Chains A and B, each alone.
Chain A
Amino acid sequence: MSRCWLALVEGLPKGADAAAGAFTTDGHSAGTLAAWRRPAKPVRDALRVDERLIDPDGSAGWISLVLPPPGVRLAFDDPAVQQARRLVLLHPFPAGVSTLLRDDSHFEGAITVARSPAEKQRLRDDPFARIFPSRMLSIEAGILGAVSPPTGPTIERYGSDNPWPWDRFD
């Protein structure tokens, strides 16, 4: 897996491989959701994401963006994170999902993508939102693709520094 970074930034993201406008549920701008495929972190708040989720040709959708409060970190192997992953596998799978992380041992958020109205409705019960606060955002076309659900029942990460649900060691 190559390194892929995601961040919600103000204004135009510099050097991003994909980017799209983000809007709150009441239609106000929430910035730009941007992604970079590169080894080094591109901006201060960028987090690693499953690269399969990023597609410059992807259509518009909604996301649940779960991020910890400033200064808060949680071990990736915390039972709360494990249970959230179990629930993602148990429920109808969204258009895409990825945990977000900076290092190999901490859970630092998650992004879940919805496209159909039913998927959008289920975003309100995002299992990762039981861990940290979630923001519901509308995302324009140009950044988010679709990822097939993992086969299951594995919830372990393949190589401890890869975002879940990446499902290979290579």
Chain B
Amino acid sequence: MSVTRGARDANGSVGMDAVGELAVGTQVPDFDLLDHAGSRRRLSELVGGDPTVLHFYRGWWCPKEQAFFRRLLALQEDAEVAYSRMVSVSVDPPEVNAAFRAGLGARWTFLSDSNRHVQTQLRLRETTDTLNDPYVPAVVVISPDLRIHAAYNGYWYWGRPAHVELVRHLRDISRGLRPDWVPPAP
């Protein structure tokens, strides 16, 4: 089986609607993992009442992840004033996540799934990398009830969402969340 074919089988159709167990319209399991400071955090508590970009990545060592993080860093500048949250998950241990996060200048939460329980639950193990057993790169945009609004399979780099796509999903969720999206008439 070719690498491409394997990724398609593992992640569903290459597109915007499913990757592993993450499919549009379903809910992400409310897992808890250690954050970059070593504190246990539950996903629902991290998401709170805001739209959230939930990002699964291979590890600090992957140049594609380094490139994609630059895209997320650009989004960070908008998200910090837009009541939107970001969470990145990898199999790296908390101290590695802390160092990587600091080096990037990221100001959002990094979670560590070093025992790969969540990775297994979500069927997001990248089987073609038997050295690192990392996550299949994936991005989902979720609402506060952890429902998936959009899902991106980033196994091939162009499968990942562009800045404008993430903005569009965050806007769509925000519009549904905020009863005063249309400002009161004078």
Contacts and interface: CB of A to CB of B under 8 A. Distances in A.
Contacts of A86: 80, 107
A167 interface: yes
A149 interface: yes
Most buried by B among A152, A156, A168: A152
A152 B105 contact: no
Interface residues of B, number: 28
Interface in B70-119: 76, 79-87, 98, 102, 105-109
A86 B106 CA distance: 10
Contacts of B106: 90, 152-153
Given A86-B80, A158-B83, A170-B49, A153 B107 contact: yes
A156 B83 contact: yes
Q: By DSSP majority rule, is chain A's interface helix, strand, loop, or mixed?
A: loop
Interface string A72-113: 000000000000001001101100000000000000000000
B108 A156 contact: no
B49 A153 contact: no
Interface residues of A, number: 18
A154 B41 CA distance: 17
Given A92-B98, A156-B81, A148 B41 contact: yes
Nearest 6 interchain pairs by C-beta? A152-B108, A89-B107, A153-B107, A153-B80, A151-B85, A153-B76
Interface of B: 35, 37, 39, 41, 45-50, 52, 76, 79-87, 98, 102, 105-109
Interface of A: 86, 89-90, 92-93, 148-149, 151-156, 158, 167-170
